[in-house]
Structure 1
Amino acid sequence: MGTSITFKRPDGKDANGYLANAARGNAPGVVVVQEWWGLSENIKGLCDRFALAGFDALAPDLYAGVLVPYHDTDAANKQMTSLDFMDATTQTVRGAAQFLAKNGAKVGLTGFCLGGAVTIIGATKVPELAAGVVFYGIPPEQAAKPADVKIPLQAHFANTDDWCTPQLVDGFEKAMKQAGKSFEVFRYDAQHAFVNEQRVSVHDRAAAELAWGRATEFFRKHLG
């Protein structure tokens, strides 16, 4: 349904991504950020689904063409740890947001795993954004302080998650509330990456569909 495109970062460099357009011409935009595997078919499929829901969706390729197989967690971890999160967020993700906002559309940001952490960083550093939806990802506080979040956030976390643990989620929720931020959080009796239907071992359709409905409703509220 979508297509591969090249767009400009604020620094003038080219970045690549997958774009799926809604049927209407004046649709709001959603930047969709990958998991630590790269720009997978699952992420492209989510862009297609956002387009069907009425949003122009663009997933930037933060790994510049590298796609890690689902079984190779060592390679995925190596790719993620070598990623410059600040450059990825303030240049590649911001460039994607600017691309979607070029006709005056409101733009949201969402991401999964690695992309969830990028979404929170983006909420503090990308001025083009109007709202964000986080899926099971939290960055270190030195990367993005809750007090610096500038947009309404919604977040979805799994109760069985050894990366974004329930304790980490509780701490982030507490910090967001203490900072007086617009934040709603949902927890699911599921495993990390429960939205990824390509990963049968962790996918939870009921939880994924519930989260999807909440996310699209949230974006319609804040993006139009």
Structure 2
Amino acid sequence: MGTEIANRGYLALPSGGSGPGVVVLQEWWGLVPHIKTVTDRFAEAGFVAIAPDLYDGETTTSPDEAGRLFMALNIEQTARKLEETLQYLQEHPAVTGDRLGVVGFCMGGQLALLAATLSQRVGAVVDFYGIHPNVQPDFSKLRAPVLGIFGENDGFVTPEAVRSLEAAIQQAGGSIETHTYTGADHAFFNDTRPEVYQPDAAADAWDKTLSFLRRELATA
């Protein structure tokens, strides 16, 4: 189990005492138990993982309230928080290597892309169906490879949107590998939402995420 770090978020350490660093970025619900559980899972897999609290303590289970928080997010302040989190994690004594991973879900997926354009500390990005209309990363500054995870039936991030993302990153000289799961909806990885959770797709996406991060951060 991880611990709450004042003004930082939720930090989880691997049982081995050290490992590569990974930042975990929340969905539009806030830093809810699901994201803390995912952070713990990264620690169990050998990573030093931290989930920053991008809503400063606010969480919700209401889609309407989540939408309000999502649209009210101050992108400039959030960008600073992302950079501060990356610096904090890189300087943490348990973190090995000089490059970090960033993994985000929904809103957090788009912010993971943004984080990688803000800091050269980022060595790998995993974008789970990322979306935010006010977050427009400058992909000319993207140096880290991207793994994109999407659902075929996602009404927010459609297959066309995925192709556009691939094109934008590749045209800017970046690297992206995507996987779109047949029959999966938006947020199919979230096992606290039975109406959209797809266990087989979620398990495969998790395996791909761990393999990608281990490969890209191994030489850091």
TM-score by length of 1: 0.90
Say if 1:47 and 1:59, in contact at 8 Å, map to a contact too. Answer: yes
Structure 2 CA distance, aligned partners of 1:101 and 1:50? Answer: 16
Q: Which has the higher strand share?
A: 1
Identify the residue that residue 145 of structure 1 maps to in structure 2: 138
Identify if the C-alpha distance between structure 1 residues 80 and 222 changes in structure 2 by more than 3 Å, giving closer, same or farther: same
**Is it true that 1:203 corresponds to 2:197 in the alignment?**
yes
Structure 2 CA distance, aligned partners of 1:2 and 1:141? Answer: 31
Q: Unpaired segments of 5 or more residues in structure 1?
A: 7-14
Structure 2 CA distance, aligned partners of 1:141 and 1:206? Answer: 32
Say if 2:18 and 2:46, in contact at 8 Å, map to a contact too. Answer: no
**Is it true that 1:63 corresponds to 2:52 in the alignment?**
no
Residue 140 of structure 1, CA deviation: 4.8
**Is it true that 1:113 corresponds to 2:87 in the alignment?**
no
Identify the residue that residue 84 of structure 2 maps to in structure 1: 95
Identify the residue that residue 212 of structure 1 maps to in structure 2: 206
Residue 141 of structure 1, CA deviation: 8.6
**Is it true that 1:18 corresponds to 2:7 in the alignment?**
no
Say if 2:111 and 2:135, in contact at 8 Å, map to a contact too. Answer: no
Say if 1:137 and 1:164, in contact at 8 Å, map to a contact too. Answer: yes
The one-letter amino acid of 2:18's match is N
Give the ranges of 4+ consecutive aligned residues of structure 1 lying more than 6 Å apart after TM superposition: none
Residue 50 of structure 1, CA deviation: 0.3
Partner residue of 2:64 out of 56, 63, 74 = 74
Structure 1 CA distance, aligned partners of 2:2 and 2:135? Answer: 36
Query: Once the two structures are superposed, what CA deviation does each residue of 1:178-222 show, in whole Å capped at 9, x if it has no partner?
Result: 223121111012000001000010000100010100011111011
- SS of 2:5's partner is strand
Report how many residues are paired.
213
Q: Which residues in structure 2 correspond to 1:46-61 (within 5 Å)?
A: 46-61=38-53
Identify the residue that residue 2 of structure 1 maps to in structure 2: 2
Residue 35 of structure 1, CA deviation: 0.2
Structure 1 CA distance, aligned partners of 2:132 and 2:167? Answer: 15
Q: Unpaired segments of 5 or more residues in structure 2?
A: none
Say if 1:109 and 1:132, in contact at 8 Å, map to a contact too. Answer: yes
User: 107-116 or 124-133, which moves further after superposition?
Assistant: 124-133
The one-letter amino acid of 2:163's match is D
